[in-house]
């Protein structure tokens, strides 16, 4: 994963940005690269899907990793949320608590793995991010794991709510995705408990916040709310920002 900062007028890279990704003449080059110098391990494949600024000097990048980037990898791909300084590009050392210990906490990265989900043994990927202005991050993506509830098909849509400061998942969010110890875990997973049928594939492409609600868009070949009309149907999913109830 790389983050580059450049001038909006000239397109020239910002020479003050990029410190902290390995030295050797690479620092302050306008680019931050996640590698062995600023992560636990980046030996596998990483991919970024979305980026956002918070207005107070921070950049958030989301995507997925096949490495133990910010915590112990739990499956083929884990979702990740990365926080770094918009001026220097240095990862925020106060962010990332709660993704596996073992020296990985407070490293600027939250990795969705066995320590902060029910199960992330299969493939999980974060596709979109939004901030609510009250210290919360919402990320949406696609999982084939029992991430926040029992998986209903090959791929389920999910939303995770976590703190912008610590990266700890919000334990009051996520009610309504299957019980069995999964409720109120910071994650809402759309599955058999809260849809007509999520037995097919759901792929998330975007998310936004609207008042007190989270809106997620994507495509499905299942019958989430009504009979499928073709190979793939578009969907809009809605849940409450506080409880995670659909």
Poorest-confidence range of 116-120, 161-165, 231-235? 116-120
DSSP 2: E
Residues 8-17 have a mean pLDDT of 94
pLDDT given at position 221: 84
Buried b (16+ CB within 10 A) or exposed e, 112-132: bbbbbbbbbbbbbbbbbbbbe
Residue 188 clears pLDDT 90, i.e. is over it:
no
Specify the pLDDT at position 101: 59
Output the average pLDDT for the chain.
Answer: 86
pLDDT at site 28: 78
Whether pLDDT at 174 is above 90: no
Mind listing the pLDDT tens digit for each residue in 190-223? 876 677 766 778 899 999 999 899 999 999 887 7
Give me the mean pLDDT over the 40-67 stretch.
92
- With a CB cutoff of 8 Å and minimum separation 6, the contacts of 142 are 124, 125, 127, 155, 156, 157, 158, 202, 203, 204, 218
3, 89 contact by CB (below 8 A): yes
Per-residue pLDDT reduced to its tens digit, 140-173 = 999 888 887 777 778 888 999 999 999 999 988 9
With bands split at pLDDT 50, 70 and 90, how would you rate the model's confidence at 182?
low
Confidence of residue 49 (pLDDT cuts 50, 70, 90): very high
What span, in angstroms and rounded, lies between the C-alpha atoms of 44 and 49? 17
Q: Higher confidence at residue 171 or residue 101?
A: 171
The closest of 177, 179, 190 to 217, measured between CA atoms, is 190
Looking at the whole model, is its pTM more than 0.85? yes
Average pLDDT of span 118-137:
89
Q: Which of 73-82, 182-191, 221-230 has the highest mean pLDDT?
A: 73-82
The first and second tokens of residue 104, run together, are: 């990985």
If pLDDT is split at 50, 70 and 90, which confidence band does 181 have? low
**Between these two residues, 148 and 85, which has the higher pLDDT value?**
85
pLDDT at residue 180 above 60?
no
Question: Would you place residue 38 in the very low, low, confident or very high pLDDT band (cuts 50, 70, 90)?
Answer: confident
Asked whether the CA dihedral 44, 35, 106, 148 is positive or negative, the reply is negative
* Cα(36)–Cα(201) distance, integer angstroms: 35
Mean pLDDT of 24-44: 82
**pLDDT top residue among 27 and 18:** 18
């Amino acid at each position: 994963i790389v983050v580059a900062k450049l001038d909006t007028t000239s397109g020239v890279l910002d020479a003050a940005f990029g410190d902290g990704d390995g030295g050797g003449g690479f620092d302050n080059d306008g680019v931050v690269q996640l590698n062995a110098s600023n992560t636990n391990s980046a030996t596998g494949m990483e991919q970024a899907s979305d980026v956002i600024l918070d207005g107070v000097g921070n950049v958030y990048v989301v995507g997925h990793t096949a490495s133990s980037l910010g915590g112990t990898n739990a499956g083929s791909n884990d979702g990740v949320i990365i926080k770094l300084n918009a001026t220097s590009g240095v990862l925020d050392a106060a962010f990332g608590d709660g993704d596996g210990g073992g020296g990985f906490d407070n490293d600027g990265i939250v990795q969705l793995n066995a320590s902060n989900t029910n199960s992330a043994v299969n493939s999980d990927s974060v596709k979109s991010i939004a901030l609510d202005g009250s210290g919360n991050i919402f990320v949406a993506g696609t999982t084939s794991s029992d991430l926040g509830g029992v998986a209903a098909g090959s791929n389920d849509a999910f939303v995770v709510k976590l703190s912008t400061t610590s990266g700890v998942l919000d334990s009051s969010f996520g009610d309504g995705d299957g019980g069995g110890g999964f409720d109120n875990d910071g994650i809402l997973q759309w599955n058999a408990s809260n849809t007509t049928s999520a037995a097919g594939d759901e792929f998330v492409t975007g998310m936004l916040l609207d008042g007190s609600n989270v809106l997620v868009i994507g495509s499905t070949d299942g019958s989430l709310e009504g009979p499928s009309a073709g190979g793939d149907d578009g969907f809009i999913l809605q849940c409450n920002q506080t409880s995670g109830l659909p």
